[in-house]
Amino acid sequence: MTTPPEVRSRIVWDYAPAPESPDHVRLRDSYGLFVDGDFRDPLDGTRVPTLNPATEEPVAEVAFAGPADLRRAVESARRAQPGWAALSALERSKYLFRIARLIQERARELAIVESLDGGKPVRESRDVDVPLAAAHFFHYAGWADKLSYGVGGRAVAPVGVAAQIVPWNFPLLMAAWKLAPALACGNTSVLKPAETTPLTALLLAEILQEAELPPGVVSIVPGDGAAGAALVREPDIDKVAFTGSTGVGKDIQAALAGRPVSLTLELGGKSANIVFEDAALDQAVEGIVNGIFFNQGHVCCAGSRLLIQESVADTVIGKLWERMGRLRVGDPLDKNTDVGAINSREQLERIQSLVSAGEEEGAVRRSIACELPERGWWFAPTVFTEVAPAHRIAVEEIFGPVVSVLTFRTQAEAIEKANNSTYGLAAGIWTDKGAKAFEVASALQAGVVWQNTYNHFDPTAAFGGYKESGFGREGGPAGLRPYLRVT
Ligand code: NDP
């Protein structure tokens, strides 16, 4: 009789918790509005708590601007603008360098607060949001004395006073995208952060104070959607720069019709991430994961429509599912976390409702098994297969950790399906063939096309959309154009 093999318990090499301590972060209990160089009590606004989406606990109290507060901020920006524009370019760039250096000095604190207030993994805020925010200020500091080279050698002048509205998915980084080029070009700004994530913008206000930026050059006025709507309707602004949903973008466009106010819109997307059969498939799977699960999928250019060539679809979906099973969902302040908390209850409900629509329309849903914390807002990484191009989950922006898989047979079909969207923000192409990548990229209606990578951002590269993803570019020399009058 043979003896049964010895049963050994399987050793699981799990990560130990690696929480980033928020102990050294010193937030104020309550923040005023940053107007005319100082934090001020609201004139007709309110004060509201801002919540940690991972715990639903308040992090700090923040003043929200009312109409009189917005008027005061715009007036101070108007007063400050001629003096700021009259500074030599070298002096303006020194301020931008100083701001960049101060962001670097306070990088750890900014990363923790970004994760506390917004729910994103601290690994991302530490390695992506904060360094890129500093890089944008460094980049545009370098442009301040070369503006006319950025627009083909023509004479330039600043536009004037800019109203800038940013969303909650990259609060500090979007503030940097907006402020750095505006200031380099000699404009002043009134910036409205999103309702759910005002804190890092207010820490940036402290940095502006420390950099001794002249009063009024930048005002930071947290507020709700009504404050955003009122700001763009302020009569004494020259420029609106908005990042957010397509619906609000259209509302702003309508509000500005007939007024001499220039506008740039960076709106939603339903970007195609296209995997050809000749791609390095393991590498592609990493790119798919980064494309859709980075920042819980709260990314305007997220690769939310995954197009896979039919011959490798089963293999790629199998590998993707296996890789998804290893994603760590949970405490945003744990350095091993891959997927953090959903930014708000409203956003979670929006994701849930679109996911239910996907199931009702007949697509096959698979969400990874993971223990979600009891408090806070969470959504398990999810993949939909058997998706038809007309399904809502293939058409509408979910803005969560949910990827919809479609297949294609030929290159022409891939291009047709990728372009079959009202949006046109970004796309990814995975192939080993350089010529194919160039051919497909030039046929795609997308502002940014990545080859064999995804969600790669750089201050030197222009970012922006086609169709309902908006117009105007941010980043690089193209990002100067919206903030300059060119003669
Ligand atoms: P919004 O477009 O409502 O928010 C973006 C910014 O605009 C916020 O600062 C918001 O303030 C402000 N705002 C809201 N209403 C108005 C208005 N009428 N006029 C001027 N400014 C306004 O996006 P949501 O936060 O509601 O997200 C909804 C959907 O939009 C998401 O599910 C996602 O699909 C998409 N989205 C896309 C983003 C992108 O980067 N392209 C970013 C964020 C969202 P407040 O925060 O107070 O509402």
First to last CA, the chain: 95
DSSP string across 377-409: -----EEEES--TTSHHHHS---SSEEEEEEES
Cα 10 to middle of ligand 1, angstroms: 48
Position 4 scores a pLDDT of 56
Distance between Cα 297 and ligand 1 center (Å): 15
Active site residues: 266, 300
Q: Confirm if 77 and 216 have CB atoms less than 8 A apart.
A: yes
- The residue whose CA has the least distance to atom 17 of ligand 1 is 229
Mean pLDDT along residues 388-393: 97
Q: The CATH number of 272-451 is which of 3.40.50.300, 3.40.309.10, 1.10.3430.10, 2.60.40.10?
A: 3.40.309.10
pLDDT at 256: 98
CA 176 to ligand 1 center in whole angstroms: 17
Residue 212 has pLDDT above 80, yes or no: yes
Q: Which atom of ligand 1 is nearest to the CA of 193?
A: 9
Q: Which atom of ligand 1 is nearest to the CA of 251?
A: 18
The CATH superfamily holding the domain 30-267+467-486 is Aldehyde Dehydrogenase; Chain A, domain 1 (3.40.605.10)
Q: What's the confidence (pLDDT) of residue 3?
A: 55
Alpha carbons 383 and 483: distance in angstroms, whole number: 40
How far is the CA of 244 from the CAs of 2, 16, 247, 470, in angstroms? 68, 37, 9, 10
Q: Which atom of ligand 1 is nearest to the CA of 346?
A: 26
Task: State pLDDT tens for residues 70-120.
Answer: 999 999 999 999 999 999 999 999 999 999 999 999 999 999 999 999 999
Instruction: Identify the band that residue 14 occupies on the pLDDT scale cut at 50, 70 and 90.
Output: confident
Mutate to test the pocket of ligand 1, among 48, 120, 168, 248 (most ligand atoms within 8 A of CB): 248
Q: Do strands 426-430 and 272-275 pair parallel, antiparallel, or not at all (unpaired)?
A: parallel
The protein residue whose alpha carbon is closest to atom 6 in ligand 1 is 167
> For the whole prediction, is pTM greater than 0.85?
yes
Question: What are residue 241's DSSP bridge partners?
Answer: 164, 264
Mutational test site, ligand 1, from 70, 199, 243, 245, max ligand atoms within 8 Å of CB: 245
pLDDT at position 228 over 60: yes
> Within 13 Å and on the Cβ side, how many CA atoms surround 161?
22
Tell me how far the alpha carbon of residue 299 lies from the centroid of ligand 1, in angstroms: 12
Q: Which two tokens stand for residue 307?
A: 């197009």
Q: What is the pLDDT of residues 257-274, one digit of tens each?
A: 999 999 999 999 999 999
Q: Which long-range contacts (CB under 8 A, 24 or more apart) does 84-90 make?
A: 84/183, 84/186, 84/187, 84/188, 84/214, 84/217, 85/157, 85/158, 85/186, 85/187, 87/186, 88/145, 89/144, 89/145, 89/147, 90/144, 90/145
- CA nearest 74: which of 229, 243, 254, 218? 218
Ligand 1 centroid – CA 240 distance (Å): 14
CA distances from 340 to 115, 175, 350 (A): 9, 22, 17
Tens of pLDDT along 132-169? 999 999 999 999 999 999 999 999 999 999 999 999 99
- Alpha carbon distance 479, 462 (integer Å): 7
Ligand 1: residue whose CA is nearest its atom 29: 245
Can you tell me the distance from the alpha carbon of 215 to that of 39, in angstroms, rounded to the nearest whole number?
A: 11
Query: How high is the pLDDT of residue 285?
Result: 98
CA 80 – CA 187 distance, rounded (Å): 9
Q: What is the whole-number distance in angstroms between the Cα of residue 74 and the centre of ligand 1?
A: 21
Pocket of ligand 1 (CB under 6 A): 165-169, 192, 194-195, 224-225, 228-229, 232, 243-245, 248, 251-252, 266-268, 300, 347, 350, 397, 399
Average confidence score pLDDT of the chain: 96
Tell me where in the chain the CATH 3.40.605.10 domain(s) lie: 30-267+467-486
Ligand 1 centroid vs 121 CA: distance in angstroms? 21
CB of 189 within 8 A of CB of 179? yes
Q: What is the pLDDT of residue 447?
A: 97
pLDDT of residue 98: 98
Identify the pLDDT of residue 9: 65
Give the span between the Cα atoms of 405 and 273, in whole angstroms: 10
Closest ligand 1 atom to 347 CA: 32
Question: What is the pLDDT, as a whole number, of residue 24?
Answer: 86
Burial of 40 (0-12, 13-18, 19+ CB in 10 A): middle
The tens digit of pLDDT for each residue in 306-356 reads: 999 999 999 999 999 999 999 999 999 999 999 999 999 999 999 999 999
Closest residue by CA, ligand 1 atom 43: 244
Three-state DSSP class for residue 151: coil
Reported confidence tier of residue 382, pLDDT bands at 50, 70, 90: very high
For ligand 1, atom 32, the nearest C-alpha belongs to: 399
Domain with CATH 3.40.309.10 in the chain: 272-451
The ligand 1 atom at the shortest distance from the C-alpha of residue 192 is 9
